[in-house]
Structure 1
Amino acid sequence: MYAVIKTGGKQYRVAPGEKIKVEQIAADVGQEIVIDQVLAVSDGSAIKVGTPLVSGATVTATVLSHGKHDKVRIFKMRRRKHYQKRQGHRQQFTELQIGAIAG
């Protein structure tokens, strides 16, 4: 069984027991959250695809941790113009343990 969910502007294919890292969610560590933006659900033989969401389908997940991804280094340069710019970015994430898929 698996589902395709949408969170943080991205889509993820999840199955029960998986761990995924998504854009940061405002929830405490250990809290159970319910994701109701489910785009598709499969029970092994049949697939339900929503238009755009599957009505009544939910995915429950437990928040394991919060953190930051590795630093992405941005370097901009214009040759012969004496222009250089250095910048860095670390995106924050929330790690989820997928529980039950209902739908």
Structure 2
Amino acid sequence: MYAIVDIAGKQFKVTQDQFVYAPVLEGEEGASVEFNDVLLIDNDGKVKVGTPTVKGSKVTGKILGHVKDDKVVVFKKKRRKGYKVKNGHRQQLTKVLIETIS
């Protein structure tokens, strides 16, 4: 059984007992979260597609922590001009354990 869920504007394919790194969410470590924007549910070949969401369905999870993604290096250079700029960025993420799909 799996579901496609909209979490903070991004779509994730989730199954039960799976870890998902979603964009940063409100809540503390150990808090439970509920996602009501379920776009599709597949239950052993029985597919329910929402228009735009599946009515009466939800995915619940538990926040395991707030982490940072790997560093992305942004390097800009213009040749022969002596112009070089190096920046880095680490995106804030929330680690969520998917508990139930219903």
Normalising by the smaller structure, the TM-score range is over 0.9
Partner of 2:84: 84
Percent identity over the alignment is 38
Match of 2:44 in 1: 44
1:19 aligned partner: 19
Q: Deviations over 1:50-70 (max 9, x none)?
A: 122111110000011111111
CA RMSD of aligned residues (A): 0.9
TM-score for the superposition, normalised by structure 2: 0.95
Q: C-alpha separation between the residues in 2 aligned to 1:81 and 1:55?
A: 59
Question: 2:94 is matched by which residue type in structure 1?
Answer: T
Q: Which 5+ residue runs of structure 1 have no aligned equivalent?
A: none
Counterparts of 1:78 and 1:84, CA distance in 2: 7
Aligned to 1:3: 3
- Runs (5+) with no aligned partner, structure 2: none
Q: TM-score, normalised on structure 1? A: 0.94
Equivalent pairs, count: 102
Q: Deviations over 1:32-74 (max 9, x none)?
A: 1100111101111211111221111100000111111111110
Letter of the structure 2 residue corresponding to residue 93 of structure 1: L
Regions of 4+ moved over 6 Å: none
Match of 1:64 in 2: 64
